[in-house]
Amino acid sequence: MQGTILVIDGVSTNRIVLKVQLTAACFQVLQADSLSAAMALMKDNRPDLVLTAMSLPDGDAADVKRALDRMQHGTGVPVIALSANNDRGTRIMALSAGIDEVLPQPVDDMILQARIRSLLRMRMQEDDLHLREDGVAAFVMAPKDAVGGQISQSDASVALVCHDLQTAHKWKARLGASVGYSLRAYNVDAIQDLMRTPVPDVIVIELNEQSAGMALRLLADLRARISTRDSVVIAVPNPADAGIAAEALDRGAHDVLHCGFQVDELALRINTQLQHQHRAEMIRNNLRDGYRAAMRDPMTGLYNRRYARPFLEQVTQDAQCAGSNFAVMVADLDHFKHINDAHGHPVGDAVLIEAARRLQAELRGCDLLARIGGEEFMLVLPNLRRDEVTTMANRLCRAINAAPFVVKGCATPLDVTISIGAIVGGQGERQLSSEELFTAADRALYEAKNAGRNQAVIKGLPQSAAA
């Protein structure tokens, strides 16, 4: 089955007709003859979409929407209302109540099926984002609220794309009287202009009899390109055409005005789609922040052990394929416990932050520096010859000991040194696992510590590098 649809209608004949249509399209259909019966059914079932009559024996479609929003597993379920009165006032009232679509009865099966497919795609995308967000939240702090916040009309831009520029400017003048968005007018063949940064937040495309084919190709192109794939696309058949509207939805339009261009309805649909876009962007930002928090050390901003180990695995594989060398280093600030004991942890934290900054400044863009615990760092340096490892180790030691650390909260500058253990892997060497490489570098670090600290020991080379 493609999904579960709950049909709510007080007229049994209507329910039967809809069940036949939807079952033929491989949907599972649940039926209820009233709002109360539907809510009772929802206690044990979670539909993917609700298809309701505008008027019910104990309420209306707006009541259905409000009841769904009050249910834990009902929020966000798309709602399509079927209205016996196909008038603009009824549609506007329903759309204003949060209903996703209003279709006239008897319903055109082509537009109904296309609208269901479109809404279910959007629902699955939102569910996927929420699943990823929940997964990140399981191992980092709870993300920021992704539901709150409203986008300001002055912050959004809307492109009006029509068969001819005259119509686009006419739509711009009529819509501009109702909304505060930045409006731009385009001809249907102005795809290069649409791609220019910043791309519009919303692209409204006219599908008229002369240019419907070109406009539909443009719609599909916009949805496929990286620069515009996050822009909202709303199609406007002009004049109204159920077949063209259905094709626009199947080609990726987020919404469609199946009754043709109407200012108040278009303004409502733009606002609704922008809110969807805004919430999705907030979730994506939460995901980025969550993954960053999971992979970064919050104090120094360096990567952590969770990120460093897979990175090392990849470097070892790349070195084997390319026949190149690489180095793994484990570095530890000397006598760091004394700094904490003598000056306090805030001073110790400041020393760690400055040490991270100095070490990072010596590295190439392809190198990795990670804080793997306490005062210990791990470095992975791809494409480094054996002689270059010694040079790099010396530079890292000098970066720390060449100048005292001036730290807020400490009356005098602090002399800080570092010990480094390194292992060289790659060409001509036995292939080691990341764990073996880390252990070998850690063992070299202890040799550097035992040799008097403030130096590096590079395993596999005949000499040690003294700082």
pTM for this predicted structure: 0.69
Q: How many CB atoms lie within 10 A of CB 75?
A: 10
CB–CB of 90/46 below 8 Å?
A: no
User: Could you tell me the residue ranges of all domains in the chain?
Assistant: 4-107, 153-292, 305-466
pLDDT of residue 139: 46
Q: Looking at the domain that runs over 4-107, which CATH code has it been given?
A: 3.40.50.2300
Identical fold, 4-107 and 305-466: no
Q: Which residues contact 292 (CB under 8 A, 6 or more apart)?
A: none
Architecture of domain 305-466: 2-Layer Sandwich (3.30)
Angstrom distance (rounded) from CA 382 to CA 379: 10
Q: How many CB atoms lie within 10 A of CB 115?
A: 25
Q: Which residues contact 314 (CB under 8 A, 6 or more apart)?
A: none
Hey, which CATH number is domain 153-292, 3.40.50.300, 3.40.50.2300, 3.30.1330.20, 1.10.3720.10? 3.40.50.2300
Angstrom distance (rounded) from CA 297 to CA 287: 17
Q: What are phi and psi of 243, to 5 degrees?
A: -65, -45
Angstrom distance (rounded) from CA 231 to CA 224: 11
pLDDT of residue 146: 43
Question: Using one digit for the tens of pLDDT, what is the confidence trace for 374-386?
Answer: 999 999 999 988 8
Cα 204 to chain centroid distance, Å, stands at 24
Alpha-carbon distance values, 434 to 225, 317, 378, 453, 457 (Å): 39, 10, 12, 25, 19
CB–CB of 380/389 below 8 Å?
A: no
Token pair 């790659």 is found at 426
Question: Which residues share a beta bridge with 332?
Answer: 376, 419
Q: Is 459 helix (H, G, I), strand (E, B) or coil?
A: strand
Question: Which residues share a beta bridge with 28?
Answer: 4
Name which of 387, 390, 385 is nearest 422 in CA terms: 390
Q: How many CB atoms lie within 10 A of CB 450?
A: 10
pLDDT of residue 151: 56
pLDDT of residue 462: 37
| Burial of 394 from C-beta contacts in 10 A (0-12 / 13-18 / 19+) | middle
Q: Is 371 helix (H, G, I), strand (E, B) or coil?
A: strand
Q: Are β-strands 376-382 and 368-373 bridged in parallel, bridged antiparallel, or unpaired?
A: antiparallel
Name which of 222, 268, 213, 273 is nearest 241 in CA terms: 213
Residues of the chain with pLDDT under 50: 1, 133, 135-136, 138-148, 461-467
* Buried-exposed string 358-381: b where 16+ CB fall within 10 A, e elsewhere: bbbeebeeebbbbbbeebbbbbbb
